[in-house]
Structure 1
Amino acid sequence: MSNRTGLARVLDDLGTTLIDLVRGDPARAGGIGGVVIDDPHDDQVLPPRALVLGVGVREPADVRARLDELGVLGAAGLVVRGPVVLTDEVAAAADRSGVALLGLAPGASWTQLAALLRSLLAEGEVTDSETLGGTPAGDLFALANAVASLISAPVTIEDRSSRVLAFSGRQEQADASRVQTILGRQVPARYSQLLEARGVFRRLYRSDQPVYIADLPDDDGGVCLPRVAVAVRAGDEVLGSIWAAVRAPLPADRELAFCDAAKLVALHLMRQRAGADVERRLRADLVSTAVEGGAGAAEAVRRLGLTDQECVVLVLALADSHVDDPAEHARLLAERQQVADAFAMHLTAVHPRAAAALVGDVAYAILPTESEDRALRIATDFRTRIGDRVVVGVGPVADGLTLARSKAGADLALRVLRAGRSQRAVARVSDVHSEGLLLELADLIAERGDTLTGPVARLIDYDLRHNGNLVETLSAWLDAFGDVAAASAAVFVHPNTFRYRLRRLAEVGELDLTDPDARFAAMLQLRLWRPV
């Protein structure tokens, strides 16, 4: 990785608004290999040169101990909640371990910091040749700084929902409301509502010229610095906007530069969107090829970084995934992608080399682990977090070159769950083994075109012609292992009536209830054909 993905880059772009360097040399760390939310109670796998977010690591003794541990693991830096108490022991641990110690501003969100850092690292993957206007394509932070220099004012780049995509330096020259926006990565709701009420967004999105906004009240009873904003467009589509904190309307030359900057930001956003779409499709192809097996699987596994790793394939689907209404179908497609993206993020937090992608109407994931039980817990935890919208099948453990076997198990488990043959929502194939065998046998029967014959067929025909209940009686008796009392109670009839029906079904179906083979055949047919 280039220096643009190192700690120096992070500190340059996020500055003192969000994080600051407490101890260590940012240049020494080199490129950052990934962002990990620290959990000292879990056996985590850190990528090389990881930047670790020490959520809950606060006391100097804990910080010192964690620095020593992360030094052994080769981490690049540790971020803890500020203000950080830098004792002599903590300073010595940072120097000894080579792990940079950083402080997160009070009030800032860990979730937003993680998203910001991962965004910066993703932008750093762009090569120097991929530039727009001299700025690396997709590097919105560098572009925000360039715009700020052009108009001599701190700026933010925001999407249509007023979420902050990037911001420039010199934010300390703005006001308290801008600091709140940066820390929360979102314009505070009270300001968004005020701007909406004043018609600012309507004017902003209807014009290609900057809009000047003054007299916005602050929390102290005064007024905020004026703002000037311009919409970011790609054709007729509004992608977002750029906001600058100013002290007076922009001069004509800077206003023109501000408008030109909006066009450049649009190119960056479209490039970023296209890159994300291409990366998503590429990852989906790699995951699909890896789990299907055959030609190309080994190369796909290598490109995913899973060679010589034991893995488990998981397959996820929406519990309710069939709709007829076209509008609902469009919503369903968007929901599938949203859930698949959330699944990928959840698994990546568990293991940096986990891979997941939407393939058709299901999401396949490859999780490096040597334990089916661990994969089951992780999938169950995801479903608990996201709600009862999904079902997940978990395959057996396989190495990188035999993932097709794990996929087959996961597919079968998912099929059982989607068919309603199990009360579970997350299952390994071993959890639904008998139900899976019945489904596979039903497939064989359907493929051969077999029809129902024998005693059960005769009983079904009799019930249809006489509005009888002999099939129900046989099913209840078999389920109760021949216990007449329990079986009669299950169908709410007197035991003597039930015994009469048993004799009658034996006569009509020509079924010997004392023959274990006949009982097994009847039970299997009832399970496969499931007569109503």
Structure 2
Amino acid sequence: MTDKPLNPFRRDMYDSLESFVDHVSELLECPITLENPHHRVLVYSSHDDETDMVRISTIISRRVPEKVINRLWKDGVIPQLLQSRKPIKIEGKKEIGLGNRVAVSIWRGEEVIGYIWAVELDKPLTNNKMLILENAAVIARHLLSRFSKNTAPSLQDNQEFFWRVLTGYVNETAIEAKIQELGMAKIPFYTIMIFPFPEIINKEIEKHILYLLKVSQDVKISFSTIEDKELIILATPLDSKENPISCYKQFIDNFEKNLQERFQIEHVKGAFGGIYKQFVDVPKSLKEARTVLEVREKFPEQTSSFTHYQELGIYQFLDILLEKRRQDGSVNIAIQNLLEYDQIHKTELLATLEVYLDESESMQKTAAKLHIHNNTLSYRLKRIAEIMEVDITIPSQKFMIYLDLKLMRW
């Protein structure tokens, strides 16, 4: 059998985009979809006997499902496509109905103007077929200019653009141009907020969310996106002269209250990262908001009321300190001695010490929280000092002990 030529394409071979993708499908022996840069379907190959759920949904709605786009961003697939001119293999993700794929970006100069997606069915594409696909992307550039029609960006397009901003793949100039294109006022400063929901956000819940965002009287929502159980938004106060932290906290309180009272959606507790002026800091604000959620989950008693990254205090640095501890291979001997004593004698001295420090060394509050008498607490603190051989009245020693106690839970 003669191998197919690696570049069997000529511009004058096709009278439409449909004839082009059918030819690519015939050469690669698999279903082909041609998309614009916002993941809207332009054309797809005909006579495909086999496919997967994502492709069926994409063809029906004429756009890749939002949850699939968000997942591909999170897994680094789309960032790869925005950097590479070579085809990229994508492992299937059964949980979202996505089979194995190969995708290649279509470039015009330094700009991605579309994508070709190939569904790998029974067997992966060979090296020769990967080269054919790469060459198909080159000819597709000319065909897109010739046949495609420009369409106005939709809400989904804006959400996909927001993911680019969140992951740091859009520069300041492009973001400002997008804001101008959407007719938005200049954003003086902003923060990124995350609202984790107890279950996956379905269409009905999404409708309620979008309504509340639209009618908000506390902040202006410039961009938003939904990813499985999370709502992520870029917000700025309606009045730039107001205290932004107060505005953001008020919005979070009102949003959670309205979700519960109007739509019976409970257990949603938002968080926001730092407040910035430059859009290059969007990924940083996102990471900080996630840190708030992570700290609240690991230290619920001490941090359940925290919503803002600055409220975390020393909790901001626990991941950095833990990494240093791991690199150094060191342990806090004083805490280790106390832990071993507890294990041998079935005592709770380590827990007592942590509560004592959490309660700012208040005897009354610590005893009440532990449900013990003050005299019992005094005896425990004396034994703790003897076993640890550390004077926790010295600020530097006390601070290190406190940090290492928290690192044990990180």
* TM-score, structure 2 normalization: 0.50
Report the CA distance shift for 1:403/1:364 in structure 2 as closer, same or farther (over 3 A).
Answer: farther
Q: CA deviation at 1:434?
A: 1.6
Deviations 1:117-175 (A, max 9, x none): xxxxxxxxxxxxx9xxxxxxxxxxxxxxxxxxxxxxxxxxxxxxxxxxxxxxxxxxxxx
Separation in 2, partners of 1:454, 1:484: 25
Alpha-carbon spacing, 1:415–1:458, altered in 2? closer, same or farther (3 Å): same
Contact kept? 1:458, 1:509, Cα under 8 Å? yes
Tell me the equivalent position of 2:190. 312
Using the TM superposition, give the Cα deviation of residue 273 of structure 1 relative to its aligned residue in structure 2, in angstroms: 4.3
Please tell me whether the aligned partners of residues 197 and 267 of structure 2 are also in contact (alpha carbons under 8 angstroms). yes
Spell out, residue by residue over 1:190-225, the C-alpha distance to the aligned partner (whole angstroms, 9 max, x if none).
xxxxxxxxxxxxxxxxxxxxxxxxxxxxxxxxxxxx
Q: Which residue of 1 aligns with 2:200?
A: 333
Aligned pairs (5 A) from 1:295-374:
295-296=170-171, 298-304=173-179, 305=182, 308-320=186-198, 332-335=199-202, 338-350=204-216, 354-359=222-227, 361-369=229-237, 370=240, 371-374=244-247
Asked if the contact 1:344/1:355 (under 8 Å) is kept, the reply is no
Task: State the distance in 1 between where 2:355 and 2:297 align.
Answer: 25
Tell me the residue number matched to 1:383.
256
Q: Residue 293 of structure 1 corresponds to which residue in structure 2? A: 168
SS in 2 for 1:356: strand
Aligned residues: 250
Larger Rg: 1
The residue number in structure 1 matching 2:339 is 460
Judged with a 3 Å threshold, the aligned counterparts in structure 2 of structure 1 residues 271 and 307 are, in CA distance, closer, same or farther, namely farther
Which amino acid in structure 2 is aligned with residue 423 of structure 1? S
Question: For residue 74 of structure 2, what is the aligned residue in structure 1?
Answer: none
Q: CA deviation at 1:380?
A: 2.2
Distance 1:356 1:364 in 2: 6
Deviation at 1:463, TM superposition (A): 0.5
The answer as to 2:296 corresponding to 1:429 is no
Shift of residue 379, structure 1, vs aligned partner: 2.8
Contact 2:289 2:309 in 1 (8 A): yes
What's the counterpart of residue 162 of structure 1?
Answer: none
* Cα deviation 1:409-455 (Å, max 9, x = unaligned): 43333333444352337x2223x232642543455357637553221
Assess if the C-alpha contact under 8 Å between 2:309 and 2:316 holds in 1: no
- 2:270 pairs, out of 389, 392, 395, with 392
Look up the SS of the partner of 2:190 in the other structure: strand
Partner AA of 1:373 in structure 2: S
Matched, 1:470 2:349: yes
Contact kept? 1:455, 1:511, Cα under 8 Å: yes
Q: Contact (CA 8 Å) 1:354, 1:366: kept in 2 or not?
A: yes
- Matching residue's letter, 1:424: S
- 8 A contact 2:222–2:235 mirrored in 1: yes
Question: Following TM superposition, by how much is the alpha carbon of 1:365 offset from its aligned partner in structure 2, in angstroms?
Answer: 1.2
Change (3 A) 1:298 1:417: farther
Report the counterpart of residue 381 of structure 2 in structure 1.
502
Moved more, 305-314 or 452-461: 305-314
Q: What does residue 69 of structure 2 align with?
A: none
* In 1: Cα distance, 2:399 partner to 2:246 partner: 33
Counterparts of 1:289 and 1:475 in 2: how far apart (Å)?
42
Matches within 5 A, 1:173-322: 273-274=61-62, 279=154, 281-296=156-171, 298-304=173-179, 305=182, 308-320=186-198
Query: Which runs of no fewer than 5 residues in structure 1 stay unpaired?
Result: 1-129, 131-269, 321-331
Residues 459 and 508 of structure 1 are in contact (CA less than 8 Å); yes or no, is this contact kept in structure 2? Answer: yes
Question: Letter of the aligned partner of 2:248 in structure 1?
Answer: A
Deviation at 1:390, TM superposition (A): 1.6
| Structure 2: runs of 5+ lacking an equivalent | 1-41, 43-57, 67-153, 261-265
SS of residue matched to 2:231 = strand
Cα distance in 1 for residues equivalent to 2:248 and 2:380 = 49
Deviations 1:10-60 (CA, angstroms, capped at 9, x unpaired): xxxxxxxxxxxxxxxxxxxxxxxxxxxxxxxxxxxxxxxxxxxxxxxxxxx
Is the 1:284–1:356 contact (alpha carbons within 8 Å) kept by the matching residues of 2?
Answer: yes
CA gap 1:401/1:505 in 2 versus in 1, 3 angstroms: closer
Contact 1:357–1:364 (CA<8 Å) still a contact in 2? yes
Superposition deviation, residue 485 in structure 1? 5.2
CA pair 400-368 structure 1, distance change in 2 beyond 3 A? farther
Aligned partners of 2:193, 2:271: CA distance in 1, in Å? 5
Change (3 A) 1:418 1:468: closer
Secondary structure of residue in 2 paired with 1:505: helix
- Secondary structure of residue in 2 paired with 1:507: helix
Does the 8 A contact of 1:287 with 1:364 survive in 2? no
SS at match of 1:367: strand
Which residues of 2 match residues 117-132 of structure 1 at below 5 A? none
> Per the alignment, do residues 487 and 379 of structure 1 end up closer, same or farther by CA in structure 2, a change over 3 Å counting?
closer
Aligned-partner residue type, residue 354 of structure 1: S
Q: Distance in 2 between matches of 1:383 and 1:483?
A: 34
Q: What is the alpha-carbon distance in structure 1 between the residues aligned to residue 289 and residue 364 of structure 2?
A: 40
1:440 aligns with 2:319: yes
Aligned AA for 1:348?
Answer: K
**CA deviation vs aligned residue, 1:340-396 (integer Å, no higher than 9, x gap):** 554333223347872211246532212243333323322321211112332212234
Kindly state the Cα deviation for residue 509 of structure 1 after the two structures are TM-superposed: 1.7
Structure 1 residue 493: deviation in Å? 3.6
* Structure 2 Cα separation of the partners of residues 455 and 298 of structure 1: 53
C-alpha displacement at 1:460, in angstroms?
Answer: 0.7
- Say if 1:484 and 1:495, in contact at 8 Å, map to a contact too: yes
Residue 313 of structure 1: CA displacement?
A: 3.1
SS at match of 2:391: coil
Label 1:400 to 1:450 Cα distance change in 2 as closer, same or farther (>3 A). Answer: same
Distance in 1 (alpha carbons) for counterparts of 2:269 and 2:365? 34
